[in-house]
A = this chain, B = another copy of it.
Amino acid sequence: MDQLTILKIGGNILDNQSLLNGLLDNFAAIKGNKILIHGGGKIANVLMKELGIEPKMVDGRRITDEKTLEIVTMVYAGSINKNLVSQLQARNCNAIGLTGADGNMIPAVKRPIIPIDYGFVGDIDTSLINSRAIQGILEQNMTPVFAPITHDGAGSLLNTNADTIASSVAIALANRYSVKLIYCFEKNGVLSNPEDDTTVIRQITEKTFIDYKSHGTIHSGMIPKLDNAFAALKAGVSEIIICGPNAFERENPIVGTLITL
């Protein structure tokens, strides 16, 4: 099977133009099929503040009311997505910026309002991802750049977690490609001491993950990220790495945390 590299970049990298530039250089240099998936960053919150709208969060998750959906659509699918596309085009990477609504590539279902009404938030059924359409774009030598927006197929856009989009797309394409999934964020990998960037855990297996969780070494936001990663490996994704923007060098093997079953 052909190789496919899927790179997910988080908000803290998007918010730092110098980190982002280096990362885009490296991403553009990847040979073969590749997909970039980006999160949101602080820009949406900044814009909401300028417009006098108070971001609503529950347990670190955004509540997406109608006005918030409008703003994240503008910021994620407009500003961030199209600026990434133009910056990749300047690096001779033939990027095409997409949401899940485009070509119905990533349909979603509005999350049930019980126990918490998250508003216009979409959950993905991986089996419904239009992997043939994504493959069609790749086969035209274009590089999809996905914003974290999906749709319900009935006319409403939905806000969807970028990590979830990354693992879902990786799973959906795993029967067409040998998929390497890279989560790139501001740390050098999963750290045993979050204050010390040299304490990268080189490898995490399902078994050691349980230990790390029970000792509190791995906690909060990293847990759903790793849950997603293990689910993706079980569903056929070949390789998953969590790393920092500097670890991701074109000539070297990627240094970071390798996730394996």
A-to-B contact residues, CB < 8 Å: 50-51, 70, 73-79, 81-83, 85-87, 89-90, 94-99, 101-104, 133, 136-137, 140, 142, 149, 151-157
Contact = CB atoms under 8 A, between A and B. Distances in A.
Contacts of A85: 99, 101-102, 151
10 contacts: A74-B75, A75-B78, A77-B77, A82-B149, A89-B101, A89-B153, A96-B102, A97-B102, A133-B140, A136-B140
Nearest to A50: B51
Contact of A82 (B73, B79, B96): B73
Contacts of A73: 78-79, 82-83
Contacts of A155: 86-87, 89-90
Given A76-B78, A77-B77, A133-B142, 13 more contacts: A70-B79, A73-B79, A73-B82, A74-B74, A74-B75, A74-B79, A82-B99, A82-B101, A86-B101, A86-B157, A89-B155, A90-B155, A97-B102
Contact of A151 (B78, B89, B156): B89
A69 to B, nearest CB: 10
A154 B142 CA distance: 18
Given A73-B79, A78-B73, A99-B97, A151 B104 contact: no
A178 B89 CA distance: 30
A158 to B, nearest CB: 9
A41 to B, nearest CB: 14
A137 B142 CA distance: 11
A140 B51 CA distance: 40
Contacts of A103: 94-96, 140, 142
A93 to B, nearest CB: 10
A135 B81 CA distance: 23
